[in-house]
Amino acid sequence: MAPHAGWFYSGAIAARAISALDRDADTVVVAGGHLPAGMPPLFAEEDGVETPLGTMEIDGEFREILKKALGGSEDTYQDNTVEIQLPMAAYFLPRARLLWLRLPAEGASFEAGKRIAQTGIALKRKTVLIASTDLTHYGYNYGFIPRGAGEKALEWVKTVNDARFLEAVEAGDPGMVLERAEREKAACSAGAVLGALGFAEERGLPKGKLLAYGTSADPIGQEGSGLPDSFVGYAAMAWYKSL
């Protein structure tokens, strides 16, 4: 699981997650979100995507099998949740072909994650998955200020709202993940995280490990500009066979 706010704010945290993946992977599934419940999964139909490190080839066979199984549609929208991860994926996974996928915030995305794992096994692909999400969007810019402003609000986001969501992810509980993402506004792309949980469960990786955490207030504070009115939480997590 990796954040997608952009490299200045969350790039170092995203790199912690993506660099933890198997660098000999054949296919990397980058699962994005920003999709509400009721939307179909969305797939990139292109043959490849450009990155600063060259073109990543799309795994067309994997995509078509999965698209038929999930009833997906073409991704024709502007969205950063997949795109921002691609240069790092190309760098850390130089052999891998890409599957560009976005998943809606609903329970079916957990089952979609399982199907991704099954498809990789059936195709004899060494498959890894990146779930792209940011955490709590707090402040006036986002219309979410349940704890006012200032240091106390930032501390609440870190130690309560984001912490509760990460607790649910670490526990591998898809229902709790979805509830805390939606009701507590603790994540913007819960569908991607549910996909990662389903993928991990199918692969026998039931428990996630938190690798890094921060907020967009951190680099801004380091520059001496003070605590911003609005900020976002970020986390890197990975799933291992043994912890």
* Structural domains for the chain: 7-239 (3.40.830.10)
Question: 133 in the Ramachandran plot: left (φ > 0), alpha (ψ -120 to 50) or beta?
Answer: beta
Q: Are 86 and 30 in contact, with CB atoms under 8 Å apart?
A: yes
Segment 46-59 mean pLDDT: 96
- Radius of gyration from C-alpha coordinates of the chain: 17
Kindly indicate the confidence band of residue 79, based on its pLDDT and cuts at 50, 70 and 90: very high
In this prediction the pTM is 0.95
pLDDT digits 0-9 by tens, 94-114 = 999 999 999 999 999 999 999
pLDDT digits 0-9 by tens, 161-175 = 999 999 999 999 999
Cα–Cα distance for residue pair 238/27, rounded to 1 Å: 17
